[in-house]
Structure 1
Amino acid sequence: MTDPHEINPRKALELGMDRPISRRDFFDGVITATGIAAACSLPGADREDAPPTLPEDLELSPDMSYPPSRTGLRGDTAETLSVPHALRDHRFWPYAGAPEPTGEHYDLVVVGAGISGLSAAHRWLERDPAARILILDNHDDIGGHALRNEFRPAAGKGPLVAYGGSRSMERPSAWTPEGKDLLAKLGIHPERLAESSGRGLYASLGMHDSVFCDRETFPEERLVVLTPGRSAPRWIAELPVAERARRDLLMLYGDPPDWFPGLSAEEKQARLARLTYSGFLGDVCGVHPDVLAFVRTMPSDEWGYGSDAFGAIDAWAGADEHRYAGFQGLGLDRSKPSRYNSPTVIKEWDAGEPRVCRFPEGNQAIVRMMAARMIPGFATNADARGVTTASFDYGVLDRPGNRVRVRLSSPVVSAANDGLPGTATGATVGYFDGERVRTVRASGVIMACWNSMIPYLIDDLPPAQHAALRRAVKVPLLYATVQLRDWRAWRRMGIRRARFTGARWCVAELDDPADTGGYRCPRRPEEPITAHLVATPVTPGVSPADGSIAGRYALIETPYEHLEYGIRDQLTRLLGPGGFDAARDIEAITVNRWGHGYAPEYATPWDLDFYPDGRPPAAVARRTHGRIAIANSDSVPAARADAAVTAAYRAVDELQIGPARPSLGPLLA
């Protein structure tokens, strides 16, 4: 059988892969800075960490000092992962040399410049305006997963601003108190963002959600448009599935029976809590395999894994006219969640509209607003209306004399209390500057980084905490942002979003209309626009944690050219009948690779040994260790921006107030 991801050379030319565009990674994901390359071309270095060979025809960004404009693979690149991987594989310290003190001393050192790390610094400075703070990060931009991508179309058009990771504020009315506090202090009003968006734009143009039944799943490819209000029998009739599968789908979306007759509501929910959605459909409902193939990617965009790992009880909670059918006959009360639902589902159950609020650049706007308030000269505008169109000077982030300094491309390699954890009054943090290990001292340290890395950085953690931190396995993700010449083909096809049933990229969609301040999103199909594609590399058939580990290895080994080929191929298959020509219409591509993406929250059926009635591992993992506190959304865990903020507030309180725990909101209860 032919590998569906294999590149066909002739087709690659037809798709325009021989044409220079402004965002192509010529390094297949292995470009590294000189210092990092030197450090990781050590004996035993794996393929990803090998030193690069720079091609003669390398296209450089017009402004290499401004990270959002940089070309190529972004996010968790080889440069950002090389030192963490060397630490993980125990091949860093034998070659690193003795750490050299910088002589710097701070009130607080924060490890990680994402939402949680910047929130911790912002909160600390609010309590202690005279404090000196250093923030260290292994990436080349602030924001962590909240990454901004920029494009500059031809013909004098203004820049297109897009998100490359953390996309939006989900259900802001249900945010934690800490998250709402930060938004209020930054002057962010979610309801105003919702009012300024063009949520009805695509619908007014006759463009809707769709499902693309692809050749990776079915013998015949077919696009099915899910027009709102269109009855299930009508769109089910268009699916290229076996006749028995069609009957099964009609039953599931129509009048399914009570699959658990004689059981109480609590017993039915407990039964669902022991099943995945695919397990429910296959083992309980006995549906045709084509039904399982059709639903496989339904949860992928939101949760990072497919229906074979997504809990049936959460599928019941998310059921609507087009998703997660089959539960109507159970007679369960939908006015309230089940105690078996995942924490975010419970937290957002009664949240009102708007469901999603966002800046054009996603949640990096929040990060930039915090940084601008703490670092003089970083931005020309730090308010919600002006942050998107402001100018930013990255050269001031690590300026001597600033009370708050941000040191990028500086992976932390060690953190230790200055003395026994119980009596220490400070800590020392080591980081790699591209040539050697440097150390700084601090009165307190907040680890706002990937929690699974912390055991490699702190040597004397208690065994139980060490083990709990190692369980914080993030879900890998790929976010691609594609600059298009126009979006006429999308309108001709009558779609704004498509879910693929089995191809590499599970979702392709036009950018959500989002205006703010002086920024105006494209509103006419003949205008340039950005489209977003999402891929979820989690290996199917196992738990989300095991699938994430296996999927991450496969993702890191995937060359960039394969990713670009898939983007061009899938967009052509989806939009070709509408006149789309990848070679002509794709003007730029950025792939944001998040090998360590979502923080997966606890959910059934995988965590029934402690959820919902036991003590979660994160409660042990996030314990303060002397003068070192732990933040990041991993410590909640939940893949929401407000979770990252709440974790930061907790860590600050633990270092400034003491071990007494404040109220941490519903996610940490």
Structure 2
Amino acid sequence: MTDPDEINPRKALELGMDRPISRRDFFDGVIAATGIAAACSLPGIGGRNTSPAKGAEDLELSPDTSYPPSLTGLRGDTAEALSVPHALRDQRFWAYAGMPEPTGERYDLVVVGAGISGLSAAHRWLERDPGARILILDNHDDIGGHALRNEFRPRARRGPLVAYGGSRSIINPAAWTPEGKDLLAKLDIRPERLAGERRLYADLGMHDSVFCDRETFPAERLVVFTPGKGAPRWIAELPVAEQAGKDLLMLYGDPPDWFPGLSGEEKQERLARLTYSGFLAEVCGVHPDVLKFVQTMPSDEWAYGSDAFGAIDAWACADEHRYAGFQGLGLDASKPSRYNSPTVIKEWDAGEPRAYRFPEGNQAIVRMMAARMIPGFATTADMAGITTASFDYGALDRPGNRVRVRLSSPVVSAANDGRPEAATGATVGYFDGERVRTVRAGSVIMACWNSMIPYLVGDLPLAQRAALYRAVKVPLLYATVQLRDWRAWQEIGIRRARFTGARWCVAELDDPADIGGYRCPRTPSEPIAVHMVSTPVTPGVSPAHGSVAGRYALIETPYGYLEYSIRDQLTRLLGPGGFDAARDIEAITVNRWGHGHTPEYATPWDLDFYPDGRPPAAVARRPHGRIAIANADSVPAARADAAVTAAYRAVAELQR
């Protein structure tokens, strides 16, 4: 994808940037580069759309602002959600905040963060203390944190079209932690009922693919992995140099033992000191085009590229289309290596990797918990009905409820009332949009980004502060694009495409999932949601350093450029199938997660303590008086069950 200052306004018109689709455009206060400014000066761009254009009669353009899932444009970590946390980070907040004002409210528990971990903590607390009064505070305008729901209402469909905007799936539930399994059982969630129409796309002749894009190779080419197409055939279709093709044939065919004479343990140790790209370049000596081809292989799952993904994990995750080159090593495939990442080890014996998904992703789990705790929030709390239930966001902070959720209320302080070792309560401050308000709490659970906690809890021990700062989340973009139909996808025979180097590394049709009264699109003439993933981590450095640099670049990227890149990539991918971005795109939601994916400990980056030393999270998650620490960061792992496990642990620490 081109840089923002290279956008062609004429092409922006061709891609439909002037069409008043369902979206809201935000620039986060950043002055746009010349190309973006020109593109967004076109009619209908750069502001909220209030009226449909000619030919848009099949589209509903008036999202309900009182119902956050229906909002489009930029969602997730918006400027509104990040302004106070960033002001705290930059030491600008308290100079203008004024004196905190007590609300007079007192709760048994205050939870900071309304994501999976925060709601799990409240749910677990109530299970052990049914009469407790609980307040949950969050800086976003919706519950769920990274587990966000995107909802569209195309007129050509009866009922809403529901999709996920963050945490997607219940992955390998058999391998979930005991705490995660306990929560699923308490909510009566049976993942096998979410299997969906797994054969739908295959039966329509639609398969996975890779799109070798112009950002990576001289010529763009789509390669479809049709069943039975072996490596020699699909490799021959790639627009790579002749030597790169030979190297790929070797890697996917019969690679040698790269470490002859070494034991299996010694080979694993060698792999643990390399990234996958490093293994291919330094050990296998492949052509640079091979490195370009594999760069985005891990991006969708791990949120960074092959230049940061450990070679030992690549060995564990190898299949017919990914991470080749290890067959000749003769490593024992019956068990994981001790150098593998914790999730790889945990899921090793889980059988076939399966992902079970509600249409809205894991926000369904959050909503089911909220519905059980908060009277009036939802018309049902059961698994079958949660996707199509009606929700009253006004009930979340209703004074008469024992459990209350206060959104758009970023926490700015949390302090024990007295010395931590003797404290019997705590005080929590939050910003209500005008001033800082405080509430009293018997206990506090920090279920927020762990790296934010040192800015909120001022008297933490230095070692704990340093450990918390190491919890650097990986930035992510999850775009949900509502299309009028998916005929072009069927025409070219794909359901998913991995891009080799463009801004968005994946574009895929929504998984076909039915639940209760909700029915997924079944025919290509129906509206559908397309998911696109972008991983802004800066390549060439560690995931932590690349995440920081990528996050700064992401926050400076205007929404208009993100929309342009979505339209551009879908056109390049689907144009041969008759796709017209100006005609076929009816709504766009970009879920920006500057603090998105929780990276777990992995080689080669954490060899100073992993797998044999004491991990920083063990120090970071220590309770501090009446304040305990949750969130998946405190495990750390990116799976939803990690967030639940962290919540259960924090509750146990405070309810001893």
TM-score tier by shorter-chain length is: over 0.9
Q: Is the 8 A contact 1:209 1:226 kept in 2?
A: yes
Equivalent residues in 2 for 1:515-526, closer than 5 Å: 515-526=514-525
Distance 1:56 1:376 in 2: 34
TM-score by length of 1: 0.93
Q: For residue 456 of structure 2, what is the aligned residue in structure 1? A: 457
Structure 2 gaps, min length 5: 31-44, 52-60
| Counterpart check, 1:7 vs 2:21 | no
Q: For residue 16 of structure 2, what is the aligned residue in structure 1? A: 16
SS in 2 for 1:149: strand
Q: Is the 8 A contact 2:417 2:423 kept in 1?
A: yes
Deviation of 1:157 (Å):
3.0
SS in 2 for 1:117: helix
Distance 1:446 1:462 in 2: 18
CA gap 1:199/1:627 in 2 versus in 1, 3 angstroms: same
Deviation of 1:227 (Å):
1.6
| Counterpart check, 1:75 vs 2:61 | no
Q: For residue 101 of structure 2, what is the aligned residue in structure 1? A: 100
Q: For residue 622 of structure 2, what is the aligned residue in structure 1? A: 623
Q: Is the 8 A contact 1:4 1:216 kept in 2?
A: no
Equivalent residues in 2 for 1:18-37, closer than 5 Å: 18-23=18-23, 25-30=24-29
Deviation of 1:55 (Å):
5.1
Deviation of 1:353 (Å):
4.3
Distance 1:324 1:287 in 2: 13
SS in 1 for 2:25: coil
> Per-residue CA shift, 1:537-565, capped at 9, x if unaligned?
00000000000000000000000010000
After TM superposition, the structure 1 stretch with the greater mean CA deviation from structure 2, 347-356 or 67-76, is 347-356
What is the number of equivalent residue pairs in this alignment? 633
| Counterpart check, 1:205 vs 2:197 | no
Deviation of 1:158 (Å):
2.1
Equivalent residues in 2 for 1:376-391, closer than 5 Å: 376-391=375-390
Distance 1:353 1:71 in 2: 36
Deviation of 1:70 (Å):
1.4
Distance 1:555 1:566 in 2: 14
> Per-residue CA shift, 1:192-249, capped at 9, x if unaligned?
222xx00111011110000000000000000000123321000000000000000000
Distance 2:508 2:540 in 1: 27
Percent of aligned pairs with the same amino acid: 86
Q: For residue 511 of structure 1, what is the aligned residue in structure 2? A: 510
Amino acid at match of 2:436: V
Deviation of 1:156 (Å):
5.1
Deviation of 1:415 (Å):
0.3
CA gap 1:367/1:388 in 2 versus in 1, 3 angstroms: same
Equivalent residues in 2 for 1:383-402, closer than 5 Å: 383-402=382-401
Q: For residue 313 of structure 1, what is the aligned residue in structure 2? A: 312
Equivalent residues in 2 for 1:145-164, closer than 5 Å: 145-155=146-156, 157-164=158-165
Distance 1:55 1:302 in 2: 33
Deviation of 1:154 (Å):
1.9
Distance 1:422 1:193 in 2: 46
Q: Is the 8 A contact 1:146 1:163 kept in 2?
A: yes
CA gap 1:84/1:234 in 2 versus in 1, 3 angstroms: same
Q: For residue 497 of structure 2, what is the aligned residue in structure 1? A: 498
Distance 1:26 1:587 in 2: 15
Q: Is the 8 A contact 1:61 1:71 kept in 2?
A: no
Equivalent residues in 2 for 1:596-611, closer than 5 Å: 596-611=595-610
Q: For residue 641 of structure 2, what is the aligned residue in structure 1? A: 642
Amino acid at match of 2:8: N
Q: Is the 8 A contact 1:29 1:73 kept in 2?
A: no
Q: Is the 8 A contact 1:5 1:566 kept in 2?
A: no
Distance 2:267 2:5 in 1: 41
SS in 1 for 2:290: helix
Distance 1:488 1:293 in 2: 30
Q: Is the 8 A contact 2:478 2:532 kept in 1?
A: yes
> Per-residue CA shift, 1:362-412, capped at 9, x if unaligned?
000000000000000100011000000000000010000210000000000
Q: Is the 8 A contact 1:5 1:562 kept in 2?
A: no
Distance 2:80 2:400 in 1: 28
Distance 2:320 2:46 in 1: 52
| Counterpart check, 1:126 vs 2:127 | yes
Q: Is the 8 A contact 1:498 1:507 kept in 2?
A: yes
SS in 2 for 1:219: coil
Amino acid at match of 1:192: R
Deviation of 1:5 (Å):
7.5
Q: Is the 8 A contact 2:161 2:529 kept in 1?
A: yes
SS in 1 for 2:136: strand
Distance 1:332 1:161 in 2: 44
Deviation of 1:6 (Å):
3.0
> Per-residue CA shift, 1:247-287, capped at 9, x if unaligned?
00000000000000000000000000000000000000000
Q: For residue 35 of structure 1, what is the aligned residue in structure 2? A: none
Amino acid at match of 1:17: M
Q: Is the 8 A contact 2:157 2:527 kept in 1?
A: no
Q: For residue 662 of structure 1, what is the aligned residue in structure 2? A: none
Equivalent residues in 2 for 1:158-197, closer than 5 Å: 158-194=159-195, 197=196
Q: Is the 8 A contact 2:84 2:93 kept in 1?
A: yes
Equivalent residues in 2 for 1:3-402, closer than 5 Å: 3=3, 6-23=6-23, 25-30=24-29, 61-155=62-156, 157-194=158-195, 197-353=196-352, 355-402=354-401
Distance 1:596 1:576 in 2: 34
Structure 1 gaps, min length 5: 32-52, 658-669
Deviation of 1:461 (Å):
0.3
Deviation of 1:57 (Å):
5.8
SS in 2 for 1:551: helix
SS in 2 for 1:73: strand
Amino acid at match of 1:113: A
SS in 1 for 2:505: strand
Q: For residue 632 of structure 2, what is the aligned residue in structure 1? A: 633
> Per-residue CA shift, 1:168-212, capped at 9, x if unaligned?
011111000000000000010011222xx0011101111000000
Distance 1:4 1:225 in 2: 30
TM-score by length of 2: 0.95
CA gap 1:55/1:520 in 2 versus in 1, 3 angstroms: closer
> Per-residue CA shift, 1:484-516, capped at 9, x if unaligned?
010000001100000000000000000000000
Amino acid at match of 1:532: H
After TM superposition, the structure 1 stretch with the greater mean CA deviation from structure 2, 179-188 or 147-156, is 147-156
Equivalent residues in 2 for 1:579-594, closer than 5 Å: 579-594=578-593
Q: Is the 8 A contact 2:622 2:629 kept in 1?
A: yes
CA gap 1:56/1:521 in 2 versus in 1, 3 angstroms: closer
Q: Is the 8 A contact 2:25 2:74 kept in 1?
A: no
